[in-house]
Copies of this chain bind each other. A is one copy, B any other.
């Protein structure tokens, strides 16, 4: 394979990766997917051991990392819910836990509810640490799989209008993806209720990075203009006033009727979805969210081979 700039590296934030490194990973994801579709399992990571260290449970992310490792011939040790594990309950630091696990495994994938926790683990150990979500911080492999999906669905990563809809204030997913889209020449349309709008600081950062950013609260209008619609959940508990939630929630529900006449609009969602995308859209050819979930496997396969340089 091509010369690998990611050997031995951590991945804490999507901005740890240059534009060229992202493209390197997406290309590798395409190559490895073809090979695994043919062979079911490759031997690239034979003898390597992944530790998944999840201080809060996340079925989807944990299983896709573990499946990635196993499809590459590697092995897995796993803590599915480290909150209840004795060490964390006894007050062990993130750094101590990571140091111990690093003496058993060749790479660590960590999820923890505290912002900065992945950095804390990475600073403590010599093996690569991959951030699988640090609270409201970053979730860089989600951004990677989102980019892989956009490139696969649209054939390119630039010159696109991407509408982000839902809760743009709290979602680490949309923050990481927006930062990554700023590596190319793209336009964002932000669609959210005012109380869940992306913060000014973040919007300014994206504009400074070169993105055209427009804001609206009209989902229908955004759908009319976008190449990609990225939907996220609006959670009742995010609203100070429950009445606001009741009034607004249906304004951000995507369904088949709303998508009529827009077959070229790629619809994405990080999943799990509850009811913000109606199931009547699932069999539309442009409903990409289950392909997007599968892309998590291929993006993580590319990443694991890269950081382990195998």
B40, B75, B84, B91: the one contacting A48 at CB < 8 Å is B40
Q: Roughly how many angstroms separate A66 CA and B272 CA in the complex, as a whole number?
A: 26
* Cβ-defined contact, A59 with B97, below 8 A: yes
Collect the chain B residues with CB atoms within 8 Å of residue A39's CB: 47
Q: Roughly how many angstroms separate A46 CA and B82 CA in the complex, as a whole number?
A: 29
**Which of the segments A8-16, A49-57, A222-230 contacts the partner chain?**
A49-57
- At the interface, yes or no: A174 with Cβ under 8 Å from chain B? no
* Cβ-defined contact, A104 with B274, below 8 A: no
* Cβ-defined contact, A293 with B100, below 8 A: yes
Q: Roughly how many angstroms separate A39 CA and B46 CA in the complex, as a whole number?
A: 10
- At the interface, yes or no: A156 with Cβ under 8 Å from chain B? no
* Cβ-defined contact, B66 with A96, below 8 A: no
Closest to A40 in B: B47
* Cβ-defined contact, A103 with B70, below 8 A: no
Q: Roughly how many angstroms separate A81 CA and B62 CA in the complex, as a whole number?
A: 14
* Cβ-defined contact, B46 with A41, below 8 A: yes
* Cβ-defined contact, B84 with A57, below 8 A: yes
B41, B51, B71, B91: the one contacting A63 at CB < 8 Å is B51
* Cβ-defined contact, B47 with A59, below 8 A: no
Collect the chain B residues with CB atoms within 8 Å of residue A81's CB: 84
The smallest C-beta distance from A279 to any residue of chain B, in angstroms, reads 8
- At the interface, yes or no: A273 with Cβ under 8 Å from chain B? yes
Q: Roughly how many angstroms separate A60 CA and B96 CA in the complex, as a whole number?
A: 11
- At the interface, yes or no: A256 with Cβ under 8 Å from chain B? no
* Cβ-defined contact, B91 with A274, below 8 A: yes
Q: Roughly how many angstroms separate A40 CA and B47 CA in the complex, as a whole number?
A: 5
- At the interface, yes or no: A77 with Cβ under 8 Å from chain B? yes
The smallest C-beta distance from A69 to any residue of chain B, in angstroms, reads 9
The smallest C-beta distance from A307 to any residue of chain B, in angstroms, reads 15
Find the residue from A56, A59, A290 having the highest chain B CB count within 10 A: A59
Collect the chain B residues with CB atoms within 8 Å of residue A49's CB: 67, 70-71
Collect the chain B residues with CB atoms within 8 Å of residue A297's CB: 103-104
Q: A101-B63, A272-B87 are in contact. Are A80 and B79 (CB under 8 A)?
A: yes
Q: Roughly how many angstroms separate A86 CA and B274 CA in the complex, as a whole number?
A: 12
Collect the chain B residues with CB atoms within 8 Å of residue A91's CB: 272, 274
Please, what's the 1-or-0 string for A281-310, where 1 marks a CB less than 8 Å from any CB in chain B?
000000000100110010000000000000
The 10 closest A-B pairs by CB, nearest first: A40-B47, A92-B272, A103-B294, A41-B47, A67-B104, A59-B85, A70-B75, A87-B272, A100-B293, A91-B274
Q: B-contacting residues of A (Cβ < 8 Å)? A: 39-41, 46-49, 51, 56-60, 63-64, 66-67, 70-71, 75, 77, 79-82, 84-88, 90-92, 96-97, 99-101, 103-106, 233, 271-274, 290, 293-294, 297
24 A–B contacts, CB within 8 A, in A order: A40-B47, A40-B106, A41-B75, A51-B63, A56-B86, A57-B85, A58-B86, A58-B87, A59-B79, A59-B82, A59-B85, A70-B75, A79-B80, A80-B80, A81-B84, A86-B272, A87-B272, A92-B273, A96-B271, A96-B272, A96-B273, A100-B271, A100-B293, A103-B293
